[in-house]
Amino acid sequence: MFRKKNLALLALLALMMPVVTLGQGAAPASEPIAKIIDEGMNRSQVMPTIRYLSDVIGPRLTNSPAQRRANTWTKQQLEKWGMKNAKVDPWGEFGRGWELKRFTASVAVPEGNVPFRAYPKAWSPSTNGPITGDVVYIDATDEAGLAKYKGKLKGNIVFTAPDRNITPGFEPPAVRTSEENLSKMDAAARATPVAQPAPTDA
């Protein structure tokens, strides 16, 4: 009888041991999560990183000098934060890089020059100084449409998109919702019945 009781007790302990082990193993898992939360909430580097990459280095076209500056800066930051063996890995052949140094455009009128908002297409060649010419708009979406302009575009500044009528905007893009409107929205939500799922056979 005594032996049977001992065997039953040992069997019960054997069943409980995995539960105890799992319970003890799960507790430390919250510690690294708590450290990550603390780091993100109290010492986050997200905004300084975005600000430097966006405002100081600026646009980073593929294989451009700005992209290489960003790569070098990122490597240095990782080393500053304690990362080991940080390096910039090559990712393959791409071709020639491109970076915009300076660009201005204006419309020549008898009274002087009127600034014209424009931006060169990436990988456009340099103009080797200022250029002037008549403006020509072409309405073509394929090679057949371009055929009628053959021999008529040389020396001209070509526009490939129609002009857009841009009107000034006086309304703010975002509006703060007033307490009155919030109350109306809440009342409307409460008055709207919530659809209940159809009963199903068990």
Can you give the residue ranges of every domain in the chain?
A: 132-164
Six-digit token pair at 35? 């450290």
* Residues in contact with 145: Cβ distance below 8 Å, sequence separation at least 6, in sequence order: 138, 139
C-alpha closest to that of 136 among 116, 163, 159? 159
Give SS3 for 108. Answer: strand
Q: Confirm if 105 and 118 have CB atoms less than 8 A apart.
A: yes
Kindly report the pTM of this predicted structure.
0.52
Q: For 104-140, write each residue's pLDDT tens digit.
A: 999 888 888 889 888 888 888 888 888 888 888 898 8
Per-residue pLDDT of the chain (202 residues; tens, 9 = 90+): 444 444 343 344 344 444 333 344 444 547 889 888 898 899 999 999 999 999 999 989 888 999 999 999 999 999 999 999 999 998 778 888 888 888 999 988 888 888 988 888 888 888 888 888 888 889 888 888 889 899 888 888 888 888 788 888 898 888 888 999 989 988 888 887 766 666 666 5
Give SS3 for 185. Answer: helix
Q: For 161-180, write each residue's pLDDT tens digit.
A: 887 888 888 988 888 889 99
Tell how strand 157-159 and strand 135-137 pair up: parallel
Distance between CA 10 and CA 23 in Å, rounded? Answer: 20
Q: Confirm if 75 and 88 have CB atoms less than 8 A apart.
A: yes
Q: In angstroms, how far is the first alpha carbon of the chain from the final one?
A: 47
